[in-house]
Amino acid sequence: MPTTRVNRRQLILPAVVGVLAAPALARAARPAGLTSFGARGDGRTDDTAAVLRALRSGRPVDGAGRTYAVSGSLRPGPGFRGLSDCVLRQLDPSGRGRTLFVEGAGGFRLSGVRVLRASRGDDGFTQRDMMENAGIWLQDCSDFDLGGVRVSGGGVGTGLVINQCRAFTAADLQVSQIRYRRRARPADDILQGIWINRCSDFDVVRPRVFDLGGQDALGFSRDNNRAIAVGGSRRFRIQDLDVADCGQGLDVTGSEGNREFVILRGRARRCWTWGFKLANSAQVACVTDAAAQDCGLGGFVVSGRSELADPPPGAIAVLGCRAVDCGRPGGPETTFGFGVLRARPDPDYPRRVRFVRCEASDLRAQAGMKWGFFNEIPAEGEDRNLAEACSAFGATVAPFHGFGRRHS
C-alpha cells in the first residue's frame, strides 16, 4: 500500500469529480397522465396493467397526485423515461418481488413517488428474501435522477435498492417503518432501508431512514438491519444523512470494497450497534462533520476485511465528528465513541486511519462508553492509526487506547 499521508483535499476531489454534473435526462417528451392509460387511481382498484402500459410508453409519466394500487412487480424495461407525483400501493399480501423494478434504463427521473410495501408476516421467508423484496429496485441504470422518493411499510426486504448503476444523483430520499414479524430471531441482514451496491460516480443528498426493526419470540428488536448500506462502490458522496431507530446507521462495507468516497455531515441516532461503520475493504475515504448519538456499540468504527483476498482497508480520515452517549450500559466489553477494530482473519488492518478534531462524550448517569477512542492495530510509522487534537469525556475505562501520545 502507498505510504503517503491522507490529505482531505485529495480525498474530496476524486469523489466529487463527475458526480455533481446533472444527468443527461430525457425530459423533452411531454409527460403522459396515468389516467389516460385507463388507471383509476383510487388506491383500491388494481391498476397494474394500466400503470405498466404507461411506464412502457416511452414518455415520462405523471401520476397527478393519486394513489395507484398494483399487484406484484412493475417492470417497464429499458424504455422507461420517468414517473412523478404518485403513490404506488402494493396489493399482493405476500409482498414478494419488487414493486417498481427498473432495469437497463437511462436518462429518467423519479420525482415525488411513494411506494407502500405490502404488510405481512414473514415466518415463511428465508434470508435471501432481503434481496428479492423491495419497494423500488433500480438495476444496471445510468444518468438518472431521484428526487423526493419515499418507501415505507412491509417486512423482510429493502426499501430502495440501487444496484450496478452509475452517474446518478439522488436527493431527499426517505425510507421508514419497515418491520418484520417472525417466531424465531432472524439472522443478520434481515432488512435494509437504502442499499447501494456496485455503483459509481453518484451523489446522494439528504437521505433519511428511520424505524427499522422486528418482532419475534424474544420481543421487539432494532438489531439485524441497516439503515443505509453501500457496498463495492467508487467515487461517491453522501451528505446530510439522517438515520434513526435502526440496527446500523450508515454501513459502508462489502467484500469488493468502497473507494474514493466522502461522507459529509449527517447524524445517526439510536442505532442498536454502530452509527457510522466503514468495514471490510473501505479505502481512501473522508467522513466530515458527522454526529452519532446513543449508538449501542460505538459512534464511528473502521473495521478490518472479512476475507484475506479482499483489498486491505485504510487511508481513512474522520474529521470534526462527535460521538455522544454511545455504548450500552451493561453491554459488551468494548464500546467506544471512535474505534479501529481488526477482523478475525487479518490482525494487521485497517491502517492509516486518522481521527482529527473529534470528540467522544458520555455524560449519562449510567455511562456505557468504555473508551473514547479505541485502536486494536499496532502498526508503526506512516501506517499507524492516529487520534489528533481529539478529546474524550466520561469514558468508564480510559479516554484513549492504542493511539500513543498523538491525542490531546
Q: Residue 18's pLDDT is what?
A: 44
Q: Is the pLDDT of residue 160 over 90?
A: yes
Mean pLDDT of 239-258: 92
Q: Is the pLDDT of residue 119 over 80?
A: no
Q: Residue 129's pLDDT is what?
A: 64
Q: Residue 377's pLDDT is what?
A: 92
Q: Residue 14's pLDDT is what?
A: 44
Mean pLDDT of 312-333: 91
Q: Is the pLDDT of residue 340 over 90?
A: yes
Mean pLDDT of 322-332: 90
Q: Is the pLDDT of residue 407 over 60?
A: no
Q: Is the pLDDT of residue 22 over 50?
A: no
Name the residue with higher pLDDT: 9 or 337: 337
CA 385/CA 403 separation, integer angstroms: 7
User: 3-state DSSP call for residue 382?
Assistant: helix
Q: Is the pLDDT of residue 242 over 70?
A: yes
Name the residue with higher pLDDT: 74 or 93: 74
Q: Residue 6's pLDDT is what?
A: 38
Mean pLDDT of 261-283: 95
Q: Residue 13's pLDDT is what?
A: 39
Q: Residue 308's pLDDT is what?
A: 77
Q: Is the pLDDT of residue 352 over 70?
A: yes
User: Chain-wide mean pLDDT for the chain?
Assistant: 88
Name the residue with higher pLDDT: 15 or 320: 320
pLDDT band at 2 (very low <50, low <70, confident <90, very high): very low
- Of 243, 239, 241, nearest in space to 210 by CA: 243
Q: Is the pLDDT of residue 193 over 70?
A: yes
pLDDT band at 216 (very low <50, low <70, confident <90, very high): confident
Q: What's the Cα-to-Cα distance from 344 to each of 306, 348, 349, rounded to whole Å?
A: 7, 10, 11
Q: How many residues does the chain have?
A: 408
Backbone angles phi, psi at 358, to 5 degrees: -105, 160
Percent of the chain with pLDDT over 90: 68
Q: Residue 183's pLDDT is what?
A: 80
- Give Cα 232 distance to the centre of its chain: 13
CA 1/CA 351 separation, integer angstroms: 10
- Of 247, 162, 244, nearest in space to 210 by CA: 244
Q: Residue 10's pLDDT is what?
A: 45
The pairing of strands 142-147 and 274-278 is: unpaired
Q: Residue 9's pLDDT is what?
A: 40
Helix (H) or strand (E) holding 48: helix 48-55
Q: Is the pLDDT of residue 7 over 50?
A: no
Q: Residue 4's pLDDT is what?
A: 35
Q: Residue 5's pLDDT is what?
A: 39
Can you tell me which residue has the cell 481529539? 390
Q: Is the pLDDT of residue 246 over 60?
A: yes
Q: Is the pLDDT of residue 375 over 80?
A: yes
Task: Indicate left, alpha or beta for 56 from its phi (over 0: left) and psi (-120 to 50: alpha).
Answer: alpha
Mean pLDDT of 186-192: 78
Mean pLDDT of 357-372: 96
Q: Residue 329's pLDDT is what?
A: 85
Q: Residue 151's pLDDT is what?
A: 97
pLDDT band at 175 (very low <50, low <70, confident <90, very high): very high
Q: Residue 269's pLDDT is what?
A: 98
